[in-house]
């Protein structure tokens, strides 16, 4: 595959092969005894008193799965079935103008929506154009994976502030396919240039966003935007950002039995995306690091000469969410302190007792939402992750208007 053209979801999703699923199940079963023994020992010691029994068991099981080889994990979930999504009753007013592919050189992605339902406007006429980058530790995920979350967040913003939102999600090369950093940064900057130069969207309407590794990529994209002397976007919205690929902050130890992530998986993924060091000397992070890219690997390091500071690089306002039990927690807090010391305006929204990627817990109930008509109201407490992102988008919009 050409690394400049990442794989994108098929319109009709294909299921993983029988053998791939069988291998994954077999290896997961083999890990089960160790997972259960560790879980029981911790509960007997009272180590997880702040987590209910079943929730602790659920997170322990997910952590156990992350110990599987990456090639096995890649087969665990089929890609999004786009045809099934856009045919859902809730989305009928969009008139199938959803998930429209874009390919322009290094820029690949999808217009999840071009304005509100029923709109025939160009995205530049929207109040906000959200450029969103998916997560997955640079090895997993797909550009349409957060479609439901983002559409519901746009729906919430429209209802609360009458804000019209267009959403462009970036497709970038995943590390196992052979694309290593900084290729992904180049692809993200190309997507931003596409919005500016091809779509003619004013930078003061653009909000850059992302989740986990996607937030890391969005931040390195902002560094590339500053280096290219492009106008920076007006706002940023980051969900549980992976600030440092070194994976060394104290919360990695403090939350290792509370989160759904494992340091083992994150280290393996970081090695794959950073690439081989070609025999360069060095020690301390992980084997295989390209030391020339270390500044992009750990965004808590001081910026290099000529980079400026975070006030100059970040938009006028940045909103971030992180769960209290996320292993990234301390890196995110440290980044906020550094950015605010530089004069950047930022809010970190902390959700108590939630792990990394907690917004994904909305998915089962989101399928119920899809079967409802566009005019039916839906209780906000049923989709707390969507509500969180929608409120974050509203906060960014309010702060953007302050200038």
CA atoms of 340 and 350, how far apart (whole Å)? 17
CA dist 286 to 279, 289, 349, Å?
A: 13, 6, 30
Quick check: helix, strand or coil at residue 347?
Answer: strand
pLDDT per position in the chain (403 positions), as tens?
455 667 666 555 555 555 555 655 565 566 666 666 676 767 677 766 778 888 998 999 899 888 888 888 887 666 778 888 889 999 999 888 899 999 999 999 999 999 999 888 899 999 999 999 999 999 999 999 999 999 999 999 999 999 999 999 999 999 877 678 889 999 999 999 999 999 999 999 999 999 999 999 999 999 999 999 999 999 999 999 999 999 999 999 999 999 999 999 999 999 999 876 433 333 333 454 454 566 789 999 988 777 789 999 999 999 999 999 999 999 999 999 999 999 999 999 999 999 999 999 998 898 899 999 998 988 888 999 999 999 999 999 999 988 6
**First vs last Cα of the chain: how many Å apart?**
43
What is the third-level CATH fold of 82-247+272-402? Rossmann fold (3.40.50)
CA 236 to chain CA centroid, nearest Å: 13
This prediction has a pTM of: 0.90
Instruction: Tally the C-alpha atoms within 13 A of residue 37's C-alpha that lie toward its C-beta.
Output: 5
pLDDT for position 260 = 96
- DSSP-derived letter for residue 73 is H
Give one word for 317, left, alpha or beta, with left for phi > 0 and alpha for psi -120 to 50.
Answer: beta
Task: Provide the β-strand partners of residue 235.
Answer: 207, 317
């Amino acid at each position: 595959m050409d690394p400049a053209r990442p794989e994108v979801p098929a319109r009709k999703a294909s299921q993983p092969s029988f053998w791939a699923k069988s291998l994954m199940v077999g290896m997961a079963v083999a890990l089960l005894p160790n997972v259960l023994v560790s879980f029981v020992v911790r509960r007997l010691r009272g180590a997880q008193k702040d987590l209910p029994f079943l929730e602790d068991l659920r997170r322990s099981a997910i952590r156990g799965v992350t110990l599987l080889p990456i090639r096995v994990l890649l087969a665990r979930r089929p890609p999004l079935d786009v045809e099934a999504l856009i045919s859902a009753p809730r989305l009928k007013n969009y008139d199938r103008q959803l998930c429209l592919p874009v390919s322009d050189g290094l820029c690949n992605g999808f217009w999840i929506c071009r304005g509100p339902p029923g709109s025939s406007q160009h995205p530049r006429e929207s109040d906000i154009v959200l450029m969103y980058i998916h997560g997955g530790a640079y090895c997993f995920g797909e550009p349409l994976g957060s479609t439901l979350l983002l559409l519901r967040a746009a729906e919430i913003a429209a209802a609360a502030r009458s804000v019209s939102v267009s959403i462009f999600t970036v497709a970038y090369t995943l590390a196992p396919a052979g694309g290593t950093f900084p290729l992904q940064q180049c692809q993200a900057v190309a997507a931003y240039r596409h919005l500016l130069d091809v779509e003619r969207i004013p930078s003061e309407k653009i909000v850059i966003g992302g989740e986990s590794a996607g937030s890391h990529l969005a931040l390195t994209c902002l560094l590339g935007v500053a280096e290219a002397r492009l106008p920076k976007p007006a706002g940023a919205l980051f969900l549980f950002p992976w600030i440092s690929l070194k994976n060394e902050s104290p919360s990695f130890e403090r939350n290792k039995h509370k989160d759904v992530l494992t340091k083992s998986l994150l280290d393996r993924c970081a090695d794959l995306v950073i690439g081989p060091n070609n025999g360069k000397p060095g020690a301390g992070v992980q084997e295989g690091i390209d030391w020339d890219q270390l500044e992009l690997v750990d965004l808590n390091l001081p910026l290099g000469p000529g980079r400026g500071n975070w006030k100059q690089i970040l938009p006028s306002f940045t909103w971030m969410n992180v769960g209290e039990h996320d292993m990234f927690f301390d890196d995110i807090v440290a980044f906020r302190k550094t950015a605010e010391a530089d004069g950047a305006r930022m809010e970190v929204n902390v959700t108590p007792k939630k792990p990394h990627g907690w917004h994904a817990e909305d998915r089962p109930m989101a399928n119920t939402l899809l079967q409802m008509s566009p005019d039916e109201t839906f209780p906000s407490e049923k989709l707390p992750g969507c509500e969180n992102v929608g409120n974050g988008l509203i906060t960014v919009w309010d702060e953007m208007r302050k200038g």
